[in-house]
């Protein structure tokens, strides 16, 4: 009998991740496909392009939940609830801070409650499951996967810098390097995803276990891919509102780099894993 027995995700944790994934699948689909229908349901004023970006975020979180559920043991997918928890937690604070300007209405209450409960639930999953690995979890240790480490190191630097500026200096970010006109809380919500991703990719830089990297890559790829699709749909907004062609080019390059890099790494690691079997 093998001495290795990875710790599975507990039944209640699995149920929570499954329910959260389905809620975000519904939200993401509606926000991305029918943005005009849900603009009035968001707690502050947004454009259709921003709504589709939010839809892409919800769909990325859906994929993250599914990846965590499909990973071979809790230890391989544990960073994914961290991404969701950090994003929902920061966004809950951003939404609550709109009360002085928007008023204490049912929309703000509902979204603040949802983001808060989602964040609390994800951190509770991490608390219940535990963070540190055991010898029986069969997690590969040693030098990090070189290509993945270089890719994640680059991504960590980019999303960390931009996310910090967007969250704490949103006026500067809006004026200098965001490619279309957005309200401050919208930009800060995008920053929440950037910083949540930054935490995950900084963790992934040091990982030698291919299963851990493979669990993270689908979430890492889907948001920039769908964001590029949304930008293509609303290209007229970008060309009319971007501070400059350089700003537009830089963002298109960065999103393309992350989307294609994540996809390439995923396919490469899948192929290498199959060869080893």
User: Where are the chain's structural domains?
Assistant: 11-276
Cα(69)–Cα(235) distance, rounded to whole angstroms?
Answer: 36
Q: What are the residues whose beta carbons fall under 8 Å from the beta carbon of 10, sequence distance 6 or more?
A: 128, 129
pLDDT at 1: 39
- What stretches of 7-161 adopt beta strand conformation (E)? none
pLDDT reported for residue 4: 66
Q: Whole-angstrom Cα distance, residue 97 to residue 5?
A: 45
- What's the pLDDT tens digit per position in 105-162? 999 999 999 999 999 999 999 999 999 988 887 788 888 889 999 999 999 999 999 9
Q: What pTM does this model have?
A: 0.95
For residue 186, what are the contacts with CB-CB under 8 A and spacing of at least 6? 44, 46, 50
DSSP 71: S
Handedness of CA 121, 198, 260, 236 (dihedral sign): positive
């Amino acid at each position: 009998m093998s001495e290795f027995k990875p710790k599975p995700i507990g039944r209640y944790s699995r149920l929570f991740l499954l329910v959260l994934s389905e809620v975000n699948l519904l939200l993401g689909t509606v926000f991305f496909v029918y943005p005009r229908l849900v603009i009035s349901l968001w707690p502050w004023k947004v454009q259709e392009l921003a709504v589709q970006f939010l839809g892409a975020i919800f769909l990325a979180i859906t994929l993250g939940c599914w990846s965590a559920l499909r990973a071979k043991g809790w230890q391989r997918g544990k960073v994914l609830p961290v991404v969701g928890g950090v994003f929902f937690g920061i966004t809950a604070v951003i939404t609550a801070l709109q009360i002085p300007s928007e008023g204490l209405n049912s929309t703000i209450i509902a979204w603040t409650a949802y983001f808060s409960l989602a964040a609390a639930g994800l951190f509770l999953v991490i608390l219940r499951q535990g963070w540190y690995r055991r010898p029986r979890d069969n997690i590969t240790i040693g030098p990090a996967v070189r290509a993945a480490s270089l890719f994640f190191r680059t991504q960590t630097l980019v999303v960390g810098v931009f996310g910090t500026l967007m969250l704490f200096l949103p006026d500067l970010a809006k004026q200098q390097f965001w490619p279309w006109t957005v309200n401050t809380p919208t930009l800060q919500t995008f920053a929440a995803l950037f910083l949540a991703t930054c935490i995950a990719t900084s963790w992934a830089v040091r990982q030698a276990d291919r299963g851990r990297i493979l669990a993270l890559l689908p979430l890492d790829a889907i948001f920039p891919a769908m964001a590029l699709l949304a930008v293509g749909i609303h290209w007229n907004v970008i060309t009319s509102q971007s501070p400059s062609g350089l700003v537009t080019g830089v963002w298109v390059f960065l999103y393309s780099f992350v989307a294609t890099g994540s996809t390439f790494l995923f396919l490469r690691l899948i192929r290498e894993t199959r060869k080893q079997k």
